[in-house]
Copies of this chain bind each other. A is one copy, B any other.
């Protein structure tokens, strides 16, 4: 609250006025989303606004920042004469690890941001500016982290990283204090609660945990810097570790009766741990920036110099562009892959009604691999035909696509474990769209796995063929519904020979027979 005492004075009367209108604003903020899109009469005035667009902008910033760290990896020049395997191992040990860690760190910061703005549902100018300051430091985190990775034995990297995290923590604490001093900005549930002070202290405690550990880490860095790394690793993975431990324990010993306090420890709103809209917005941002990083490289590198065209190709632009042929093909192939992975993600989240923390974690893993696609694009078009490097580049691409797809499938499998809460009835086990959704989600992992083994068997497999395959996958999605229907009908024909009319079975489309059939298969 240091630097906006002016704001305190001048906006004091606003608060009083708003509290008079309390009952009305309670009613308005109970369903936070529709109201946030079409501003009601009461808002926009007296300085409070819905937080919808601020959150969308934050999501866009954070998703781009999480993803662009792949560029230093993708732009690493791999020498053509040395073996790809060695250079990739060099990459793997440093840059890819940095990319994945940065992605996780930024995702953590994003999850903290979600939690914060589940408590604060309305904003005013001051909060918007504080949030922008917070964003500025979050976008600076990847840089401090790459410094830390490049100079692991230098204290400065740790200090800069910890400094950023601490300042972010302080800004978030200021945001919380500011919001609690103006209760009309808060979530309705907390607004009407009697023990608002307890909430405030609890939230402040949760927020300050990470900066405090960073403070200790920065002190230890002067004494014994390995200890600081240990502390930082604990900070980053603490929620994930505790979450997975809890999950394992609940699987091993049956559901534990959790006190509401222990739930509150990681999420302020136990009923909805991650906001579905924000998960979608974050994912959209990652998919969009990955798709455009590809064309960005083409626009920067593949416009030939007029002088070169004149000298080397006798003024023939077509001849000059033919050199770039494989890159265009690689671009269209990669765009098709990114687009379709988005499409599968879109179809999946259309049927997801609630996102649990574990689903969010799997989604982050999937997105981290999607962010690796520019690397795949870079590798596949950069080697000469029929070299061993080319085959290995294709295999790396297959591995990236496989993991991106398999984690999407995993989200659905996890959602099915608790389908009453997390899934729409149509895709639940036995639902009308269940098998079709499974086919959609399984398509990419299957294709990637198949291609991987093809490259092991066929030595003639080349990057252009791979990219052509990528471009033809959309047609597979178009005929997928037909294939699923025919497959189901054939299965039904095998198991229920008393209903031989395939055409009528396909057109019948009644839930009962589908459920019956599913029961039969298991």
Contacts and interface: CB of A to CB of B under 8 A. Distances in A.
Interface stretch (A234-242, A260-268, A341-349): A341-349
Contacts of A156: 317-318, 321
A37 B278 CA distance: 12
A44 interface: yes
B306 A150 contact: yes
Interface in A18-66: 33-34, 37-39, 44-47, 49, 53-54, 56-57, 60-61, 64-65
A339 B136 contact: yes
A303 interface: yes
A142 interface: yes
Contacts of A151: 306, 309, 317
Nearest to A481: B10
A292 interface: yes
Interface string A421-438: 000101100001100000
Nearest to A57: B284
A424 B6 contact: no
A474 B72 contact: no
B284 A332 contact: no
Q: How large is the interface on A (under 10, 10 to 19, 20 to 34, 35 or more residues)?
A: 35 or more
Interface string A498-510: 0000000011010
A475 B68 contact: no
A292 B65 contact: yes
Interface stretch (A123-131, A185-193, A213-221): A123-131
A335 B507 CA distance: 57
A350 to B, nearest CB: 5
A339 B60 CA distance: 13
A280 interface: yes
Contact of A143 (B139, B295, B317, B339): B295
A335 B39 contact: no
A491 interface: no
Given A332-B136, A343-B128, A482 B6 contact: yes
A485 to B, nearest CB: 6
Contacts of A136: 332, 335-336, 339
A44 B426 contact: yes
Interface in A57-95: 57, 60-61, 64-65, 68-69, 71-72, 75
Nearest to A477: B129
A339 B65 CA distance: 15
Nearest to A318: B156
Given A61-B291, A150-B304, 14 more contacts: A10-B482, A44-B350, A44-B433, A45-B426, A45-B432, A69-B299, A126-B478, A139-B291, A139-B292, A140-B295, A143-B299, A147-B321, A156-B317, A156-B321
What 8 pairs between A and B have smallest CB-CB spacing? A60-B288, A34-B34, A132-B339, A64-B292, A45-B426, A154-B317, A57-B284, A139-B295
22 contacts: A7-B478, A9-B482, A34-B37, A45-B424, A49-B347, A53-B350, A57-B284, A57-B342, A61-B292, A68-B299, A125-B477, A125-B481, A126-B478, A129-B474, A140-B331, A143-B295, A146-B299, A147-B317, A150-B303, A150-B304, A150-B306, A156-B318
